[in-house]
Structure 1
Amino acid sequence: MQIAATARNLQGTGASRRLRISGKAPGIVFGAGQDAQKIEIDHNSLFHALKKESFHTSILDLDIDGQSSKVVLRDVQYHPFRAQILHIDFQRVDENTKIESKVALRYENADKSPAVVTEEGTVTPLITEVSVLAAPAKTPEFISVDLSKLSSKAIPGLQTVKAPNGVKIIARGANKNPVLVSVKLPEAAVVAPVAAAPTDKKKKK
């Protein structure tokens, strides 16, 4: 995926504000032993590109005034309530250096699992992306997770995810094997107790 950018010379909050008003998004490129470079990118094309999953996980060709660099997306900041990109960061990479990045998990076959077919449960993903360490060329767009054997008594954890060759999944936090999904079973029907028939009291003579 290619991105066209222009070197940005003006700095400061006021300059960035004027840039956004003109339909551009400010950004920066850093890494690979080179000085950081400030850039500007057409806002609308960047906004639509960010909706693609591959933009977040693939190696991107960033063209800055005719000079191309291999980069990966490192950070993007959005306006709190407007559909506007405030700033974007890219990191230069080479094809042999392993870098840490986020990769989406794509769950498959949940509708065929015992949890849904037999138990009539509802499956909700708890983890939607993972951190991986891999060379940019080996970083996948997503990692598939097969849920065909899922049941309420057999819920897979992060360590069950099979990463492609050359890709290492990084577990954060104290729990190195958090569960991937939750299974909510239908509530058992509550049977109202049958009221006992009133006993007739013997009439006093």
Structure 2
Amino acid sequence: MSNKVIKATGRSVEGKGASRRLRHAGKIPAIVYGGTAAPQPVLLDQEKIWVASQNEWFYSTILDLDVDGKVESVLLRDMQRHPYKQIIMHLDFMRVNQKEVLRASVPLHFINEDISPAGKNADVIIMKELVQVEVSCLPKDLPENLQVDLSELELGDIIHLSKIQLPEGVEIPSLALGAEHDVAVVVARKGRVEAEPEVADEEATDAEVPATKAEKDAE
């Protein structure tokens, strides 16, 4: 886990009208909540946060949120985007207690697909059923991502959730709920099906030829 610093300023004015004016001014209204402290409304710079939001770490790592010089450890919990403009409408950050186990979704990185037997076979489709997974761990152990090695993947293989290699101190809570929660992460299946020859049509065509010839001979 690496330290990523996000700068913010406190805000005292709330409401839809105020938030609209802030967005026009290039700011993002946000809220910081959790822990023993009261929820705190803050402001962030739209341009800087938009750039940060293009990185995977923004969604899956513990962030150092600097609010007017006071730094808190937080985790992004929700982001509201404009439906068609490149604008972030609102952000929710949750305070993180370094001594308490948390749950967070981390992205899956699929590696070595191109060198796998399935990846080399043009007739095989490699289906990635999940792109992220929820883990539980202490904040210090939270990984930026989890790697899924596909180097030995062959046609017909299925990689289940339980086969993902986890760093020390990291667990997947859903696996404790029973075998039915050990879902497929990757499936390699046949993708190209050869068309069957239309034998019946060919036989019908062949059968029609002599009959036609016989009719012509009769004329």
Q: Above 0.5 in TM-score? A: yes
Matched with 1:183 is: 188
Q: Is 1:195 the counterpart of 2:191 in the alignment?
A: no
Q: CA–CA distance in 1 between the matches of 2:188 and 2:172?
A: 24
Q: How does 1:30-179 map to 2 (within 5 A)?
A: 30-118=33-121, 120-171=123-174, 175-179=180-184
Hey, what's the Cα distance between the residues in 1 that align with 2:192 and 2:110?
A: 22
Counting helix residues as a fraction of each chain, which structure ranks higher?
A: 2
Residues 13-22 or 51-60, more deviating = 51-60
- The whole-number CA distance in structure 2 between the counterparts of 1:124 and 1:17 is 42
- Aligned equivalents of 1:124, 1:200: Cα separation in 2: 51
Alpha carbons 1:130, 1:170 under 8 Å: kept: no
| Superposition deviation, residue 195 in structure 1 | 3.0
How far, CA to CA, are the matches of 2:21 and 2:49 in structure 1?
18
- How far 1:119 moved relative to its partner? 6.3
Percentage of identical aligned residues: 33
Larger-Rg structure: 2
What is the RMSD of the two structures over their aligned residues, measured on CA atoms? 2.3
What is the CA deviation profile of residues 43-72 of structure 1, one whole-angstrom value per residue up to 9, with x for unaligned ones? 110111111111111111111111111111
Task: Give the 3 Å change call, closer, same or farther, for CA 79–118 of structure 1 in structure 2.
Answer: closer
Partner residue in 2 for 1:25: 28
Uncovered stretches (5+) of structure 1, i.e. residues with no partner: none
Is the 2:156–2:188 contact (alpha carbons within 8 Å) kept by the matching residues of 1?
no
